[in-house]
A and B are shown apart, each in its own frame.
Chain A
Amino acid sequence: DAKTTQPPSMDCAEGRAANLPCNHSTISGNEYVYWYRQIHSQGPQYIIHGLKNNETNEMASLIITEDRKSSTLILPHATLRDTAVYYCIASNFGNEKLTFGTGTRLTIIP
């Protein structure tokens, strides 16, 4: 899996968009970008994944740069329940092993 780099922590005001960056400059052509999050005292939860194109689902949007060296997870209207640690992972699709780093601790401020 390619190495990913994320800021250790971020704050965002409730109701605003939370933009979480991730660098994966050594990502290879067949590696996808995955995002998971872990709310306190729970196991991680899948959010979204993508290869080249931007992706959106009911939880978030994923923007991947054209050179694929970085990506941004967007939570469009952050709520207090979005306070969690967010993990960005680069891995081959269907590679059953995922390497979780230390992630970004996102705090939503009322």
Chain B
Amino acid sequence: DVKVTQSSRYLVKRTGEKVFLECVQDMDHENMFWYRQDPGLGLRLIYFSYDVKMKEKGDIPEGYSVSREKKERFSLILESASTNQTSMYLCASSTPSGRARETQYFGPGTRLLVL
């Protein structure tokens, strides 16, 4: 069974803290994504990566950075967390080849609260 896992389901951090959200996929997928989901706004793409050490900005990259040192792992970093970054964070992966290319596989999400 395909699997995307995220390091935490729930996280509470204080304003100004550095926050790491980890995502691991076991499908050997080239593409990985980070989204945030807020009520009334749907899912919004923060960053994505199409290969190791490659990254591209999504629609709302401000306040975030990412790291992709290994193919299976994609990290989202909040350098200095702020209360407006309280949200649900979703990681996904996909492959650009073959018939499966249209499918993004999502992790269960991390609900982050910044106090």
A-side residues, CB < 8 A to B, are 32, 34, 36, 41-46, 49, 87, 93-94, 96-103
* B80 nearest CB across to chain A (Å): 27
Once the chains are docked, how many angstroms separate the CA of A66 from the CA of B83?
47
Tell me whether B108 and A43 are in contact (CB under 8 A): yes
- By a CB distance below 8 angstroms, the chain A residues around B40 are 102
11 other A-B residue contacts (CB within 8 Å) besides A32-B102, A96-B33, A96-B96: A42-B108, A43-B91, A44-B92, A44-B104, A46-B102, A93-B102, A94-B101, A99-B59, A100-B43, A102-B40, A102-B42
Q: How far is the CB of A6 from chain B (nearest CB, A)?
A: 10
Size range of the chain B interface in the assembly: 20 to 34
A-B pairs, top 10 by smallest CB distance, nearest first, are: A43-B106, A100-B43, A102-B42, A46-B103, A96-B31, A100-B42, A101-B42, A44-B106, A49-B102, A43-B90
- Can you show 25 pairs from A to B with CB atoms below 8 A apart? A36-B104, A42-B106, A42-B108, A43-B4, A43-B92, A43-B109, A44-B92, A46-B102, A46-B103, A46-B105, A49-B102, A87-B43, A93-B101, A93-B102, A94-B96, A94-B102, A96-B50, A96-B94, A97-B33, A98-B45, A98-B104, A99-B45, A101-B42, A102-B42, A103-B42
Chain B interface residues (CB < 8 Å from chain A)? 4, 31, 33, 35, 40-45, 48, 50, 58-59, 90-92, 94, 96, 101-109
Which chain B residue shows the least CB distance to A8? B40
User: In the complex, what's the smallest C-beta–C-beta distance from B7 to chain A, in angstroms?
Assistant: 14
In whole angstroms, what is the CA distance A42 to B106 when docked? 8
The answer to whether A34 touches B102, judged by C-beta atoms less than 8 angstroms apart, is: yes
Across-interface contacts of B58 in A (CB, < 8 A): 97
The residue of chain A having its C-beta at the shortest distance from the C-beta of B109 within the complex is: A43
Give the shortest distance, in Å, between A80 (CB) and chain B (any CB).
21
